[in-house]
Amino acid sequence: MAQPQNQYQPVYPNMGTTGGQGYQPPTVPGQPPGAYQPVPQPKAPHDDGTKFRREGCRDVIWAVLFILQLLLMIGLAIYMGKKHASDPKCDPKVDQDCNPDTQVNIDGKAWGIICLLIVGGALSCVFWLELIKRNANCLIWFCLLFSVAMFFILGLVLLFFGSLWGGLVFFILGGINLLYVYFVKGRIPFAAAILSVVSGVLQLFPASFAMAYLVVFIQAAWLIVWVIAAGYTLGEIERNKSTQNQQGLVYFLFLVSFFWTSQVVKNVMHVTVAGVVATWYFLFPQNTPPNPTKEAFKRATWTSFGSICLGSFIIAVVKALRTVARSAMNNKNEFVRCLVMCILNCLDAIVQYFNIYAFTQIAIYGKPYCEAAKDTWELLKNKGIDAIINDDLTGTVLAFGCIIGGLFGAVLGAVLGYLVIPVPNWWIWPIVGFLIGYAMTLVCMEVVASGIVALFVCFAEDPQALNETKPEVYNRFRNALTSNGVSQQSPLLLAA
């Protein structure tokens, strides 16, 4: 059946930059190929019907600017590092603050405990992912009710110690949380279904988690580069007695560079994971490519890299402004300080949340950043409440998983440091174990969070694609939306 020239065709482009096989509309039984058409969605004024077809790199100028500043920072770090490599070392006879006894020496036993804690952190991630996949609904209910119970318990503790107003505040907060649980209980089945499905999808493509841990090492390397470049440069500027305005400008530019690079690295991971989930959504199981994570990563670091750099730059500027405002303000005018910080904190949270969905549009459809931002605005206007509640319900489970991972690491560290591999000062290892377990689980949960947003966007914009490729998952989502008295006018339910 011939299709009009401007007909909406969801050809998913995440299979490489050229020549890849994209998502093809499935064949409807009893009808000729191409008969399947998704449910028509309202088009924004800027939508010309070709949003699924993208060629070439987008927002190239921002990719060039980002690479130039990164090379400048690396070059500056190398120059400053060599220049100050011959600086005199710490001498306790000259410098009273120098104390060689405070240096930390890590022996073989300590390295053995650290390696075992890392393995324990990885096992806690696998355990929590499997638990999410099998019991997502129960976990959401448990986390919600646990938070309510903690407010009431803290209120009772404060009352016991004689703090009437403190106890009253926690009782009020507990009541507000209880009302929230009552009003969102009908949305829990859908959030649980998405959480469970995403956990299963990412277990099918575990390379996403490996890439996430690679990102951690890249962030650590970037932190070292930035500290060397910024620390020595700002020190020399101060010694040269530059004006306060000059020092402030250089400090702000260094902050922008730090946040920009950190955000680009983080958002490359988000776009890659979102691309993997979108690949599963549109292609699995018939047309899944051999390595979807590799293809999604290639797309994030090539065709969509400029768009990621542009969105990350906006976040970086806001974060740099917030940091400068926090460090520059004194306590003489506390009201103005609180007002400015409140505005900047709210702006930072809004921009970050908005960009998560904009980057997801970039990952799925390969849009330039400005077009992705416009479509994200339309999505959040129509289905924003569903998105916010879904993120909140799933986020409680992910945050609780990080705490469980940290507690497991703390117990493992105590056991290893005291019983299995006895070491002096064994009490430090529960703290180290908590930090390692929490950090490793946090990385995994960030991957899951990216997958949740991607699956939500895919289902919100093209639910029929899921119905044709994986009808059992589609029915699971639709049944979850219609259960427990969810409004029939819900935008998600209307789209499905």
Given this model, what pLDDT does residue 485 score? 52
Given this model, what pLDDT does residue 324 score? 87
Q: Is residue 96 part of a domain?
A: no
Q: Is residue 237 part of a domain?
A: yes
Token pair of 204, please? 């099918």
- 172-176 contacts: CB < 8 A, separation 24 or more? 174/148, 174/149
DSSP line for 262-294: HHHHHHHHHHHHHHHHHHHHHHTTTS--S-HHH
Q: Is residue 89 part of a domain?
A: no
Mean pLDDT of the chain: 82
Mean pLDDT of 225-230: 92
Given this model, what pLDDT does residue 186 score? 87
Cβ-in-10-Å burial (0-12, 13-18, 19+) of 297 comes to: buried
Query: Would you place residue 489 in the very low, low, confident or very high pLDDT band (cuts 50, 70, 90)?
Result: very low
Given this model, what pLDDT does residue 382 score? 84
Given this model, what pLDDT does residue 26 score? 43
Given this model, what pLDDT does residue 87 score? 58
Mean pLDDT of 432-441: 91
Given this model, what pLDDT does residue 107 score? 60
Query: Would you place residue 348 in the very low, low, confident or very high pLDDT band (cuts 50, 70, 90)?
Result: very high
Mean pLDDT of 429-442: 91
Token pair of 424, please? 């002096």
Q: Is residue 85 part of a domain?
A: no
Q: Is residue 408 part of a domain?
A: yes
Lowest mean per-residue pLDDT among 168-177, 406-415, 423-432: 423-432
Query: Would you place residue 8 in the very low, low, confident or very high pLDDT band (cuts 50, 70, 90)?
Result: very low
Query: Would you place residue 138 in the very low, low, confident or very high pLDDT band (cuts 50, 70, 90)?
Result: very high
Given this model, what pLDDT does residue 106 score? 54
Q: Is residue 105 part of a domain?
A: no
The Cα–Cα gap between 21 and 40 comes to 24
0.85 surpassed by pTM: no
Query: Would you place residue 399 in the very low, low, confident or very high pLDDT band (cuts 50, 70, 90)?
Result: very high
Number of structural domains in the chain: 1
Given this model, what pLDDT does residue 248 score? 85
Given this model, what pLDDT does residue 169 score? 93
Q: Is the pLDDT of residue 139 over 80?
A: yes
Residues 270-305 have pLDDT tens digits of: 999 999 999 999 988 888 888 899 999 999 999 999
The Cα–Cα gap between 218 and 34 comes to 45
Q: Is the pLDDT of residue 434 over 80?
A: yes
Given this model, what pLDDT does residue 31 score? 43
Q: Is residue 376 part of a domain?
A: yes
Given this model, what pLDDT does residue 174 score? 94
Would you tell me how many other CB atoms lie within 10 Å of the CB of residue 405?
29
Given this model, what pLDDT does residue 88 score? 56
Nearest to 14 by CA among 41, 45, 54, 72: 54
Q: Is residue 8 part of a domain?
A: no
One-letter identity of residue 107: D
Asked if 197 and 455 count as a contact pair (C-beta separation under 8 A), the reply is yes
Of residues 37 and 326, the one with the higher pLDDT is 326
Q: Which domain holds residue 257?
A: 60-76+121-495
Of residues 456 and 48, the one with the higher pLDDT is 456
Mean pLDDT of 220-247: 86
Q: Is the pLDDT of residue 262 over 60?
A: yes
